Amino acid sequence: MSDIDILVSEVGPRDGLQSIDAILPTEVKNAWIRAQAEAGFREIEVGSFVPPRVLPQMADTADVVREALLVDGLNVAVLVPNLRGAENAIRAGAHKISIPFSVSETHSLKNVRRGHDQMIEEVKNIAALVGEQESPPHFEAGLSTAFGCTIEGPVSEDLVVRSAERLMDAGVAEVGLSDTTGYANPEQVKRLVRKVQAAVGKENITGVHLHNTRGLGLANALAAIEEGITTVDSSLGGIGGCPFAPGASGNIVTEDLVFMLEAMGLKTGIDIDKLLSVRNILKDALPDEPLYGFVPDAGLPKGFTGHRKSEQQ
Ligand code: ZN
Contacts of 291 (CB under 8 A, 6+ apart): 237, 238, 239, 279, 282, 283
| Cα distance from N-terminal residue to C-terminal residue, the chain | 22
In the three-class reduction of DSSP (H, G, I as helix; E, B as strand; rest coil), residue 44 is classed as strand
SS3 content of the chain, % helix, strand, coil (to 5): 45, 15, 40
The single-letter DSSP state of residue 253 is: B
Say how many Å lie between the CA of residue 209 and the centre of ligand 1. Answer: 6
Contact yes or no for 11/45 (Cβ under 8 A): yes
Dihedral sign, Cα of residue 13, residue 16, residue 18, residue 23: negative
The pLDDT of residue 35 is 98
Say how many Å lie between the CA of residue 277 and the centre of ligand 1. Answer: 24
Model pLDDT for residues 173-231, shown as the tens digit of each residue: 999 999 999 999 999 999 999 999 999 999 999 999 999 999 999 999 999 999 999 99
Say how many Å lie between the CA of residue 20 and the centre of ligand 1. Answer: 13
- Nearest Cα neighbor of 147 from 96, 223, 46, 237 is 223
Question: Helix/strand/coil (H, E, C) string of 51-65?
Answer: CCCCCHHHCCHHHHH
Model pLDDT for residues 38-73, shown as the tens digit of each residue: 999 999 999 999 999 999 999 999 999 999 999 999
Of the candidate ranges 195-209, 245-259, 272-286, the one whose mean pLDDT is the lowest: 245-259
The pLDDT of residue 309 is 52
Contact yes or no for 100/178 (Cβ under 8 A): yes
Is the confidence at residue 313, as pLDDT, over 50? no
Say how many Å lie between the CA of residue 79 and the centre of ligand 1. Answer: 11
Q: How far apart are CA 311 and CA 284, in angstroms?
A: 33
- Can 242 be counted among the known catalytic residues? yes
Say how many Å lie between the CA of residue 8 and the centre of ligand 1. Answer: 14
Question: Between 312 and 130, whose confidence is greater?
Answer: 130
Say how many Å lie between the CA of residue 212 and the centre of ligand 1. Answer: 10
Is the confidence at residue 155, as pLDDT, over 50? yes
- Categorize the per-residue pLDDT at 311 as very low, low, confident or very high, splitting at 50, 70 and 90: low
Say how many Å lie between the CA of residue 124 and the centre of ligand 1. Answer: 23
Say how many Å lie between the CA of residue 251 and the centre of ligand 1. Answer: 6
Contact yes or no for 229/236 (Cβ under 8 A): no
Is the confidence at residue 1, as pLDDT, over 60? no
Say how many Å lie between the CA of residue 179 and the centre of ligand 1. Answer: 7
Mean pLDDT of the chain: 94
The pLDDT of residue 245 is 64
Burial of 288 by CB count in 10 Å (0-12 exposed, 13-18 middle, 19+ buried)? exposed
Say how many Å lie between the CA of residue 17 and the centre of ligand 1. Answer: 11
Annotated active-site residue in 28, 31, 242, 263: 242
Is the confidence at residue 308, as pLDDT, over 90? no
In this prediction the pTM is: 0.95
Share of the chain above pLDDT 70, in %: 95
